[in-house]
Amino acid sequence: MANSSNEASAGMMPSIVGVGSVNGGNNKNNNGQRGPGGGSTAMSSIGSKPTLIRTSNLCFLIMDAPRQSNLHLYIKECRRNDVTDIVRVCEPTYHGGELTSAGISLHEMAYEDGHSPPEPVLDRWLALVEDRFMGGGGGGGSGSGPSPAAKNKEHRTIAVHCVAGLGRAPVLVAIALMEFDRMDAVEAVMMIRSQRRGAINEKQLQYLEGYKCRKRAGGGGCACVIM
């Protein structure tokens, strides 16, 4: 199983690009926030700039976890990048109502840090990706919020985040690249790492190396040697 210790704590996350400023505040926890719906907080910036991963067929935005206090900044990034869906693969740190108001569907696909994605998560993730980019934009993924059916598939992006945006979220994006763009594990990981430094640790590489693609002709695997 893949070890996602590189995202075990947001405090260990390397800041790629800092946005905004940090203001003082009272009654805050060590992360500078009170949790979902907890009122105003000290954090008013994006932890690391969201990373766009685009191919001829697919488009993903890898993010760290928004907080209720800075969710509006992430929504601006999502609008800028034509995001129709956000996939949350960690514990909630914000409420989804603001996303619904912005026309973005929220999909809960949380799984335990330090583990590879379980079958139910993989099933839902692949169904969502296939629906949004290969299908007609219907209701794949069983998310909350409006359906993005009216949005042209050439102008759709799926955002996905874990805690730091370095482990669980990039692994799901790598799987999608392997499944739908016929990349091998090396190509997928190198593409992601070229845009998001520190993504995908050694254990996760091993998991991706042994991952068996479901949608390739003949059911062939995606295994390869990763140096």
161: three-class secondary structure by DSSP: strand
Q: Which of 113, 184, 213, 222 is catalytic?
A: 113
Share the mean pLDDT of the chain: 78
Q: Mark whether 162 is an active-site residue.
A: yes
Quick one: CA torsion of 19, 20, 21, 24, rounded to 10 degrees? -110
- Token pair belonging to 98: 């603001």
> Using CA atoms, how far apart are residues 10 and 94, in angstroms rounded to an integer?
15
Q: Which of 162, 184, 213, 222 is catalytic?
A: 162
pLDDT value of residue 114: 78
**Residue 117: CB atoms within 10 Å:** 22
For residue 54, list its beta bridge partners: 59
Per-residue pLDDT of the chain (227 residues; tens, 9 = 90+): 444 455 544 433 333 333 333 333 333 333 333 444 444 444 478 888 999 999 999 999 999 999 999 999 999 999 999 999 999 999 999 999 999 999 999 999 999 987 899 999 999 999 999 999 988 544 444 455 544 444 555 679 999 999 999 999 999 999 999 999 999 999 999 999 999 999 999 999 999 999 999 875 434 445 443 33
pLDDT value of residue 81: 96
